[in-house]
Structure 1
């Protein structure tokens, strides 16, 4: 059943490709732009670090912003409420969405990696950590998106709230510059970010075996915490429309 739901969500993605094109196109364009203007382009390993960072950015955009916004939109239009009245368990529907989003994020990441190899011969040093990090990171970020969607009041506020919360996390997570260059307080916050550990597993920064396993543990912990919060606060009913004070005090 989960496979069928995942395939159904993938067909929806394919039929509305604008968001996917934008999510995949941004990291691809940034790779070419940053590689052209960076002063570190001649440093060994620079291009793979750049590719890994752009994969992290793409995963964050697809698995957090796109997934959360789609859940909020489904709640506002009553889709989730109608699904609750069907024999299909709601958790399977959400699980299918998360699985489809992870598949899309992996495909986008492969495209980014292929571009990096084609243009700059960029390749990872450890394929096992790359694959583990990509899968665990996409699942963790996707579940965080599901959890945060429960806090977004309405669909018209989703884009602003999700972008506002994602941007500082991206800036603190070593996507555009190394975490080691951050002030001490910012570096401490960065170590709590799942994107930092995703970036580390992808190979954007040299990591010891201990750091790699720590990154895996952090991503699993974020996944468990986000899933628990989403199950606790999951909402299927849209918020009632706002009423003015005049409407509330008007005589019947």
Structure 2
């Protein structure tokens, strides 16, 4: 908090706040420190995608089982993109939707709003911390995938560029939607009960735990409304071989559509967040 309220003398002898950039960086450091102190949340967010990948790679990949027509794609290889997309959603949407609701319930947001720090620095600090934690999470997941399960990682620049823009846009979208959704739980105690089931349902219908093309059509149509399906599809275009494109429902990776849907949710989350975000509890006026 002290970094957010420190003032510096100006040439005219008055006091002025630090720049928005320096406030945002300071806030990002504070958010990261707070996040890593919550060890249970850190373990869940970082370990969950790794554990799920290990389950799919070892249980479903026994005896060289594969996905799709011969020669097929190893199960671990096919489900890695879904675990990457899930990791992004956990670090951004779920993390912020729950943590902000708890901060509001405990009165932290009310106290923070009374300081001279601009509201934008608070939100930029949240997004900055999400980007850092997501990068650490992805590095851990990909390292485990490559070193422990012999999953092939991309070797071309264009695939890593695709990974970069899907990851960045997906993380930003998840963070903004998480901020907006944080006003839905009635209290900090109910936040996990409200947010976690939504995340789990989206994982099941978005092709994270199953081959998306094998899901019922109505389930595919539901998933197409939400960003997780498109993040998973974008990541499949990064980590799966070219022939896997034919496995998609549309027969293509649909990169323009992926970018459009994620950008649309980014705008929707931003608008809803601006209109509905609350600094106080519901019973606090």
Shared fold per TM-score greater than 0.5: yes
Question: 1:195: how far off?
Answer: 0.6
Aligned counterpart for 1:75 among listed residues 104, 112, 119:
104
The list of structure 1 runs, each at least 4 consecutive aligned residues, that deviate by more than 3 angstroms after superposition, is 39-43, 204-210
Matched with 1:135 is 168
Residue pair 2:227, 2:261 contacting (<8 A) in 1 also: yes
Matched with 1:60 is 89
Give ranges in structure 1 of 5+ residues lacking alignment.
Answer: 242-252
Superposed CA RMSD in Å reads 2.0
- Provide the secondary structure at the position in 2 that maps to 1:161: helix
- Taking structure 1 as the reference length, the TM-score comes to 0.88
Matched with 1:249 is none
Give ranges in structure 2 of 5+ residues lacking alignment.
Answer: 1-22, 67-71, 246-250
- Taking structure 2 as the reference length, the TM-score comes to 0.78
Question: 1:56: how far off?
Answer: 1.5
Matched with 1:148 is 181
- Provide the secondary structure at the position in 2 that maps to 1:155: coil
* Alignment of 1:122 onto 2:149: no
Residue pair 1:194, 1:218 contacting (<8 A) in 2 also: yes
> In structure 1, what is the Cα distance between the partners aligned to 2:216 and 2:106?
44
- Provide the secondary structure at the position in 1 that maps to 2:27: helix
Matched with 1:244 is none
> In structure 2, what is the Cα distance between the partners aligned to 1:8 and 1:140?
22
Residue pair 2:233, 2:253 contacting (<8 A) in 1 also: no
Residue pair 1:35, 1:41 contacting (<8 A) in 2 also: no
Question: 1:209: how far off?
Answer: 7.2
Question: 1:210: how far off?
Answer: 6.5
* Alignment deviations for residues 6-42 of structure 1 (CA, whole Å, 9 cap, x no partner): 1221122223333111211111112122111115744
Residue pair 1:133, 1:201 contacting (<8 A) in 2 also: yes
Residue pair 1:45, 1:122 contacting (<8 A) in 2 also: no
> In structure 1, what is the Cα distance between the partners aligned to 2:183 and 2:54?
36
* Alignment of 1:108 onto 2:137: yes
